[in-house]
Amino acid sequence: ASEWYEANGSVSRAIHHALVCEDLGRVLDLIEAHGLAALSQAEVRKVKGWFDSLPEELIRSRPYLCVLFAWTLWLTNYSDPPAAVDDWVKDAERALPVGRPVSKDEDWGKDQEVTAHIQSIRASMAFFRGEDPRMVIDLARQALDLVQERDCWLQSMLCHFISACHVVLGDIESAILFDEHALRYAKACDFDYLVIGIYYDQAVIAIRQGRL
Q: What is the pLDDT of residue 7?
A: 83
Quick: pLDDT tens for 10-63. Answer: 888 999 999 999 999 999 999 999 999 999 888 999 999 999 999 999 999 999
pTM: 0.84
Instruction: Assess whether pLDDT exceeds 90 at residue 2.
Output: no
Residue 159 · residue 181 · CB < 8 Å = yes
The tens digit of pLDDT for each residue in 108-123 reads 567 888 999 999 999 9
pLDDT exceeds 60 at position 168: yes
Q: Supply the DSSP string of 56-106, one letter for each residue.
A: HHHHHT-HHHHHHHHHHHHHHTTTS--THHHHHHHHHHHHSPSS----TTS
Q: How far apart are CA 85 and CA 3, in angstroms?
A: 31
pLDDT of 106 strictly over 90: no
Banded model confidence at residue 107, pLDDT cuts 50, 70, 90: very low
- Which pLDDT band, with edges at 50, 70 and 90, does 149 fall under? confident
The beta-carbon contacts of 165-172 under 8 Å, at least 24 apart in sequence, are 165/127, 165/133, 165/134, 165/136, 165/137, 165/140, 166/133, 166/137, 167/201, 167/205, 168/133, 169/133, 169/134, 172/205, 172/208, 172/209
